[in-house]
Amino acid sequence: MFRKVFACLLAGLSVAALTPATSSTADAQDKVIKIGVVYDLTGPFAGGGSELQYLGAKIMIDWFNAHGGIDGYKVQPIYADAQSKPDVAINEAVRLIEQEKVDMLLGFYSSAECVPVAARVEEFKKFMWITTCIASPVLEGRNLKYVFRPQPFGTQWGLASTAMVDAYSKEQLGKDPKDLRVAIIHEDGPYGTDVAKGNAEGSKKAGFQVVMNEGYSSSAPDLSSLVTKLKRGRPDVIFHTGYNPDITLFLRQARELGLRFDALIGQGAGYTVYSKLKETAGTDANYFFDVDPISIWQSNPASLKPDLPPLIKLIGEDYMKAKPDTVIKSAHVGMAASNTYLFLTDVLPRAIKKYGGITSDDLRQAAMDTDVPDGGTMLGFGVKFEGPGQPMEGQNERAYPVIVQYIDDKAYVVWPKAQAERPPVLKLPASSPYAMK
């Protein structure tokens, strides 16, 4: 059945996207693009979403290879585990380049790894396609020639969450934004720091009272002092950026120590892994928020290119085969699948056809030509990369995150208003152990 469905899908997809039309089967066997694929398969980042990102990228790569490759090239992935350690991520990237002789690198979940790895890969003049990590310092002011990121960047997360609270504060919490007390807490790596920067900027713009803005180590064994400070600050809203197990630790100790608030807005990473939240908090996770690019299974099919909805369905089926206990499909899988698909259907074919091959310069030129309108990716947004002389060369200037709210084991898009499936509910129900009494 899968082969029949896929055959039908292939008939409707572009030649550049999926078929090796310019080459014979023998040619496809001779031509290979070796891609070093780096994610965290062990350590705390794995459970925070990296292992799901790996799954999304692998589904996409396997899918193309099963049907002849791309324009005469077979994709040969060489997978590496960064082990949730920046030094290991750097060493693995170097090993893939020097020993495995990869043509490029793809993946990278943690911004703490991305920042140093991007600089090291640039030294080798190798092409790097980032599917995940979001911190602005990965690209900002660095003028990297061979590093590209179709993802939004971290400050956008913080600005989105504060904009939503600003819009609904009076209506739902009965407070003018200037009277609203907010707390910003975050893991202290590049990821958390960048999102918190957006929170601070957005809070200042809205006029919120910031009662706390503090970072902590994502590997901290105890967050009780953080919780105690939050209790003293009495925030109405908490903006939290973390991985896991730090999110699990925070929620457990907040409940034990009696922390109360009206709304908790998680900002990506561990908050995008609902199964982990559910395991940690059970029904207490009800009405928590999460900021990230939209789940491809929540993108409006009518707004997407006609090729994409059936493809999204097939990715979802493979996801559920790999993770049959999934309650809500994590945006992490779709994120990596979409960004990998974009490379394989837009950048790689153009490099081969227009620029003559798969060298780093061929791939760079092809990426700089990318001009995808809104609705042209599974994530809904378009793609156009900032060029030389712009603040974040290699950054997709058309990308943005959305906010979802978890209610009764479902995720609803609640922000921005133009994409909202329902309005947000800022005030936790009285039944929540975290609710203001």
Taking CB atoms within 8 Å and a gap of at least 24, the contacts of 355-362 are 358/33, 358/73, 358/103, 358/104, 359/103, 360/103, 360/104, 360/125, 360/126, 360/127, 360/146
Q: Determine the Cα–Cα distance for residues 205 and 199; give it in Å rounded to an integer.
A: 10
pLDDT at position 276: 86
Q: For 21-168, list the strands marked E by DSSP.
A: 31-39, 73-81, 104-107, 127-130, 147-148
**Do the Cβ atoms of 49 and 55 come closer than 8 Å?**
no
127: three-class secondary structure by DSSP: strand
Q: Determine the Cα–Cα distance for residues 292 and 276; give it in Å rounded to an integer.
A: 16
Q: Which two tokens stand for residue 304?
A: 């997407």
- At residue 248's C-alpha, the angle toward residues 245 and 253, to 5°, is 125
pTM over 0.85: yes
Domains of the chain with bracketed CATH: 2-152+300-368 (3.40.50.2300), 155-292+401-419 (3.40.50.2300)
Q: What are phi and psi of 248, to 5 degrees?
A: -60, -45
Q: Give the pairing type, strands 289-292 and 263-266.
A: parallel
pLDDT at position 400: 97
pLDDT at position 29: 52
406: three-class secondary structure by DSSP: strand
Q: Which two tokens stand for residue 108?
A: 């990278």
The residue behind tokens 């793809």 is: 106
Q: What are phi and psi of 362, to 5 degrees?
A: -60, -45
- Close Cβ partners of 437 (under 8 Å, ≥ 6 residues apart): 260, 430
426: three-class secondary structure by DSSP: coil
For residue 347, the tally of other CB atoms under 10 A from its CB is 26
Nearest residue to 437 via CA among 254, 210, 261: 261
Local mean pLDDT, 10-residue blocks, the chain (437 residues)? 40 38 44 97 94 98 93 96 98 98 97 97 98 96 97 97 98 97 97 97 98 96 98 98 94 96 95 90 94 95 94 97 95 97 98 97 98 97 97 97 96 94 96 91
